[in-house]
Structure formats: C-alpha cells, structure tokens
Amino acid sequence: MIRLVVGLGNPGKEYERTRHNAGFWLVEKYAQASGFVLRKDPKFKALVGKNAAGAWFLLPQSFMNLSGQPVQMLAGFFRIKPEEILVVHDELDFPPGVARVKQGGGIAGHNGLKDISQRLGSHDYWRLRLGVGKPPAGTEGGDYVLHKPSAEEKTAIDEAIGRSLHVLPEMLTGDIQAAIQKLHSSEPKPAPEKKEPPKKEIPVKEPEKQPEPQKSGGLLKSLFGKK
C-alpha cells in the first residue's frame, strides 16, 4: 500500500512549466481530479494534501536538491515506511510519453532522489518515472530539465501522466503489481520506421561503335579495284 505520494519539482513561477517539474504536474492533476487541496505547511516545508482514503500527497517547497527533508519529516511524523512511499519524478532515460514504475534502483544523478535516499537511509521507496527525453548533444542534463518541453513533448508527457493517474488508485490500495502491468502494457508503441522502396537501376546503354574511317588508299582501291 502507498501511504505517501511525493511529486518532485522546484517551487516558483519560473520553474512551474519546466521538465524537472513533471512530478509536480501529476500530483497537482490528481489533487484537482480528486477534489482535495494542496496547502502550504511550514512545518513540513511543502504543499501537503490528503485524499478521501487517507493517503498523503506532498510537493516539497525546498527546491529539488533538498527534497528529502520534507519527505523525511512527514514520513517520520506519520510513521510511513520507505516501501509505502511513491516518488514521482522526471526521467531522462525515457522519451516523452513513457511512464514506468519500479522500486529502488539507481538514481542516475537525480538530485531530488539522491537527497530523499540519503534522508530516508533507504532506496526502497517506489518511483514513478515520467520520461522527458535525453538532452541534445552538447547540453547538460541539469540545464535541459530546467527548460520547457516543446508543445509536442508536453502533449506526450501529459498523456503519460493521464495513464499513470488511471492506475494510481490501485497503487494506493496496495495492488501495485497489477497497476504496473496495466501502466506498462498501455504504453504506446513507437511507430515503425518507414522503409523506402529500393531504387530501380536504369541500365546505361553503351554508345554504338562508329565504323573507323578508311584510309584514302583503301577508298581508291574499293572504287577502282586493284591494278
């Protein structure tokens, strides 16, 4: 059973539409759809809400690299174990439109996950990874996630969030494996690459050989015959 859902992101208007705030986007949409409010709680340094079933939702307001402190405080206060926590975050290893769930594993340089793991002293929390795509060549990952996705990318991310929200109730009630199977099987398959038909080779005609001009002597012989 999941008792705490944490959306990762950075507070402030300048960050709210950036790739790094994908975790915020999901929790905000869930709260809106479920009819509860995320309120600022200075004690936890976060926006905090609770759904009708009693699960907590948290958006740290301490910036990404300090996300672990609000998680640690709320989890400690309500005695929530790491394996009862779901952290929603942006994932560079997946293209926009992909959403995957796993428990534990490497943090791949994600500062929010790094701080949470250190604060909880565990990697055993669950993770819902929302793909935002790899940065282009020559662009650092830290800079890439602090920029807005293109309109096409944002549409794909929103679709992945929608599929995730569809299975989230099952995760909250403890049927995590069923939720994972549904989410992963609903992932859109990449369009097959179009293969160009082989080009027909047009045979090149060899130039016709022209008869060699006869020498003047030969021409006279042909006209008058041999003497």
What's the pLDDT score for residue 141?
A: 86
Residue 174 tokens, joined: 């403890």
Nearest to 45 by CA among 56, 36, 55, 58: 58
Is residue 103 exposed (0-12), middle (13-18) or buried (19+ Cβ within 10 Å)? middle
Q: Compute the 3-state secondary structure of the chain and give helix, strand, coil in percent, each to the nearest 5.
A: 40, 15, 45
Establish whether 20 is a catalytic residue: yes
Query: Which amino acid is it at 100?
Result: R
Domains and CATH numbers, the chain: 4-185 (3.40.50.1470)
Per-residue pLDDT of the chain (227 residues; tens, 9 = 90+): 999 999 999 999 999 999 999 999 999 999 999 999 999 999 999 999 999 999 999 999 999 999 999 999 999 999 999 999 999 999 999 999 999 999 998 877 899 999 999 999 999 999 999 999 999 888 888 899 999 999 999 999 999 999 999 999 999 998 999 999 999 998 877 656 566 666 666 666 666 666 665 555 555 455 555 54
Backbone angles phi, psi at 101, to 5 degrees: -115, 140
d(CA 14, CA 18): 8
Contact predicate 51/34, CB 8 Å: yes
d(CA 22, CA 89): 6
DSSP-assigned letters across all residues of 92-142: TTS-TT-EEEEES---TT-HHHHHHHHHHT-S-SEEEEEE--PPPTT--HH
